[in-house]
Amino acid sequence: MCAAGVWFPEIRRRAARASRPVAESARQASRTRLCARLRGVKTIIEPFRIKSVEPLRQTSREERERLLEEAGYNLFLIEARNILIDLLTDSGTSAMSTAQWAAMMRGDESYAGSESFFRLKKVVQELTGFRHVIPTHQGRAAERILFGVMCRPGQSVPNNTHFDTTRANVEINGARAVDLPCPEAADTQARHPFKGNLDLAALERLIETEGAANVPLVMITVTNNSGGGQPVSLENIEAVKRVASRHGIPLYLDACRFAENAYFIQQREAAYAGCTPKQIAQRMFSLADGCTFSAKKDALANIGGFLCTNDDRLAEQEKDLLILTEGFPTYGGLAGRDLEAIAVGLTEVLDQDYLQYRIASTEYLGRHISERGVPIVEPPGGHAIYIDAGLMLPHIPRHQFPAQALAVELYRHAGIRSVEIGSVMFGDKAPHELLRLAIPRRVYTQSHVDYVVEAILEVNARKNQIRGLEIVSQPRFLRHFSARFRML
Ligand code: F0G
């Protein structure tokens, strides 16, 4: 598992690399704090031991070649039992703790007034301060209800970058989903500590041209998933809040990865070096009027989500809609036991040692491939590493889907599943051709990550032989889930 000293140097170097533009005092403070924490043995280890295991199944290269052909070269269409290391998503794939499993036994499955709901509500309110906590079966259900209540046709919703379900839920209500990432985000190789920030000048311009009445809410996604898992600074959230407030527009967080974002703030933003991740998260939420949340990410749960708001009138409308499609407001489409797992996970995810391990392990993967010539979105993000396949495979034109070709090759070579975030997913609107390697929480050990590193480097060594793909069939919407391809 963790060879001595392996993850630690990553952390030590992080201060020097990723936070280059951050004030010296912040670097110093975070280094001092880290050194104090790590006095003695310096290796960062997985802060848990393993009580229950799932076997992984090896497949042969011939088998994988056949499976690829049968799946039309779409990794969504390959059965999970045929995947060795699954980096398709960090969503709903966390390993739960003994405390979460124990809490699930306490689940109160009452239709109305479940005790489990009140336990979850208490945890969420303590963390976020929001008045209304509305459980949903996952993040996109919260989005559908929020935008269904707040958006009208012709309006615009700005966000640093909308996730695909967020965009779809804005657009289905006839509104326009407008991405306003900060300018640094355009260059995958640029290093900036908060590349997830929202472009303030662009926000001002949008409100000016559209009129405040046509901007029902401003949203910030923390961390910015579609923008490379990059964090947003508290300074930026505060500034966005000031602009939104000046125009009477509410601010919402898409808070899926709030704890990872809080950890980046602690490490990179001078003013918060001495705060706990929880205090930083509380500050982030205190600036917002509400949030959507997928518990499948930073609640370490396998299903669930919620929608929060401080607006009594909106909450009533949202609960009415909830009853229509999700369930009664004290369970929202979830079992009582799921509510319990989320409540415990929300506390565990803010643990300093967990977050340090989490971010170090993602960075470990990123550094070990980028230092050997594989171009990644810099600096490494929180939940995933994104390979810039456009840069890595310049011989494959965009219309032959370089990132999909790389995903296929990585599976063929080593049984690793990743996901294309490029022209297959977004068509002509894709800003980059990225391959995302998302890291499930508390699931894989360092030797699994070493295997992934080795496989990627081997694929990179003969990258010139990788061929592009052509689409042979596709659905009308969200084609990446079910399109079929042919190798060229
Ligand atoms: N917002 C963000 C930023 C997300 O990353 C996701 C899901 C959602 C909303 C929707 O949440 O899946 O619970 O309905 N992201 C997953 C991913 C699917 O793989 O990145 P959900």
Does pLDDT of 251 surpass 50? yes
Does 91 contact ligand 1 (Cβ within 6 A)? yes
Residues 359, 323 share a domain = no
Does pLDDT of 193 surpass 60? yes
Residues 201, 74 share a domain = no
Under the banding of pLDDT at 50, 70 and 90, the label for residue 41 is confident
Does pLDDT of 27 surpass 60? no
Does pLDDT of 1 surpass 70? no
Does 223 contact ligand 1 (Cβ within 6 A)? no
Under the banding of pLDDT at 50, 70 and 90, the label for residue 7 is very low
Distance CA 464, CA 393 (A): 7
Under the banding of pLDDT at 50, 70 and 90, the label for residue 428 is confident
Query: Span 220-240, mean pLDDT?
Result: 96
Confirm whether 4 is domain-assigned. Answer: no
Q: Sheet of 290-294: strands edge to edge?
A: 132-136, 305-309, 290-294, 251-254, 218-221, 156-159, 176-179
Residues 209, 231 share a domain = yes
Token couple for 410 = 């990585």
pLDDT tens, position by position, 263-294: 999 999 999 999 999 999 999 999 999 999 99
CA of 29 to the centre of ligand 1 (A): 33
Q: Quick one: which of 207, 208, 221 has its CA closest to 167? A: 221
Boundary residue ending a domain (325, 348, 371): 348
Confirm whether 82 is domain-assigned. Answer: yes
Q: Name the closest-CA residue to atom 20, ligand 1.
A: 89
Does 236 contact ligand 1 (Cβ within 6 A)? no
Average pLDDT, the chain: 93
Highest mean pLDDT among 23-37, 52-66, 471-485: 52-66
CA of 19 to the centre of ligand 1 (A): 27
Percentage of the residues of the chain whose pLDDT score is greater than 90: 88
Does 139 contact ligand 1 (Cβ within 6 A)? yes
Does 225 contact ligand 1 (Cβ within 6 A)? yes
Q: Quick one: which of 127, 117, 125 has its CA closest to 322? A: 117
Confirm whether 56 is domain-assigned. Answer: no
Percentage of the residues of the chain whose pLDDT score is greater than 70: 92
Residues 306, 260 share a domain = yes
pLDDT tens, position by position, 363-400: 999 999 999 999 999 999 999 999 999 999 999 999 99
Token couple for 426 = 């977004």
Predicted pLDDT of residue 5: 34
Does 138 contact ligand 1 (Cβ within 6 A)? yes
pLDDT tens, position by position, 301-310: 999 999 999 9
Contact 168, 231 (CB under 8 A): no
Residues 385, 270 share a domain = no
Count of C-beta atoms within a 10 Å radius of residue 413: 15
CA of 104 to the centre of ligand 1 (A): 23
Predicted pLDDT of residue 218: 98
Residue with the bigger pLDDT between 88 and 13: it is: 88
Predicted pLDDT of residue 91: 98
Confirm whether 30 is domain-assigned. Answer: no
Token couple for 295 = 């518990």
Query: Span 223-229, mean pLDDT?
Result: 91
Distance CA 102, CA 100 (A): 5
- For CA atoms 263, 268, 271, 274, the dihedral sign is positive
Does pLDDT of 113 surpass 60? yes
Predicted pLDDT of residue 42: 86
pLDDT tens, position by position, 464-485: 999 999 999 999 878 999 999 9
Residues 267, 253 share a domain = yes
Boundary residue ending a domain (348, 374, 398): 348
Confirm whether 42 is domain-assigned. Answer: no
Q: Name the closest-CA residue to atom 4, ligand 1.
A: 163
The pTM (predicted TM-score) of the whole model is 0.92
Atom of ligand 1 nearest to the CA of 221: 3
Give the DSSP letter string of 461-481. HTGGG---EEEEE--SS-GGG
Does pLDDT of 298 surpass 60? yes
Q: Quick one: which of 220, 90, 185, 183 has its CA closest to 432? A: 185
Predicted pLDDT of residue 13: 46
Does 256 contact ligand 1 (Cβ within 6 A)? yes
Distance CA 302, CA 341 (A): 9
Boundary residue ending a domain (348, 374, 390): 348
CA of 316 to the centre of ligand 1 (A): 25
Residue 423's domain is classified under what CATH number? 3.90.1150.10
Q: Name the closest-CA residue to atom 19, ligand 1.
A: 89
Residues 305, 186 share a domain = yes
CA of 126 to the centre of ligand 1 (A): 24
Does 254 contact ligand 1 (Cβ within 6 A)? yes
Does pLDDT of 215 surpass 80? yes
Atom of ligand 1 nearest to the CA of 419: 19
The count of domains in the chain is 2
Residues 294, 150 share a domain = yes
Residues 399, 344 share a domain = no
Under the banding of pLDDT at 50, 70 and 90, the label for residue 29 is low
Q: Name the closest-CA residue to atom 9, ligand 1.
A: 139
Confirm whether 410 is domain-assigned. Answer: yes
What is the tally of helices (H) and strands (E) in the chain? 18, 14
Distance CA 358, CA 181 (A): 25
Residue 285's domain is classified under what CATH number? 3.40.640.10
CA of 302 to the centre of ligand 1 (A): 12
Residues 281, 251 share a domain = yes
Atom of ligand 1 nearest to the CA of 224: 3
Predicted pLDDT of residue 248: 98
Does pLDDT of 463 surpass 70? yes
Predicted pLDDT of residue 24: 44
Does 166 contact ligand 1 (Cβ within 6 A)? yes
Distance CA 333, CA 328 (A): 8
CA of 482 to the centre of ligand 1 (A): 18
Predicted pLDDT of residue 381: 95
Does 305 contact ligand 1 (Cβ within 6 A)? yes
Residues in a beta bridge with 394: none
19-33, 95-109, 297-311, 369-383: which range is least confident on average? Answer: 19-33
CA of 139 to the centre of ligand 1 (A): 6
Under the banding of pLDDT at 50, 70 and 90, the label for residue 21 is very low
Residues 310, 196 share a domain = yes
Token couple for 218 = 């401003």
Predicted pLDDT of residue 148: 97
Token couple for 359 = 């971010």
Q: Quick one: which of 470, 410, 459 has its CA closest to 435? A: 410
For 316-338, letters b (16+ CB in 10 Å) and e give eebbebbeeebbbbbbbbbbbbb
Half-sphere exposure of 375 (CA within 13 A, CB side): 16
Contact 266, 30 (CB under 8 A): yes
Atom of ligand 1 nearest to the CA of 225: 3
Does pLDDT of 26 surpass 70? no
pLDDT tens, position by position, 151-184: 999 999 999 999 989 999 999 999 999 999 999 9
Residue with the bigger pLDDT between 147 and 19: it is: 147
Predicted pLDDT of residue 33: 56
Does 140 contact ligand 1 (Cβ within 6 A)? yes
Residues 428, 303 share a domain = no
Query: Span 92-121, mean pLDDT?
Result: 98
Confirm whether 158 is domain-assigned. Answer: yes
Query: Span 53-67, mean pLDDT?
Result: 97
Boundaries of domain holding 71: 61-90+351-487
Atom of ligand 1 nearest to the CA of 257: 3
Predicted pLDDT of residue 227: 84
Confirm whether 298 is domain-assigned. Answer: yes
CA of 62 to the centre of ligand 1 (A): 33
Does pLDDT of 296 surpass 60? yes
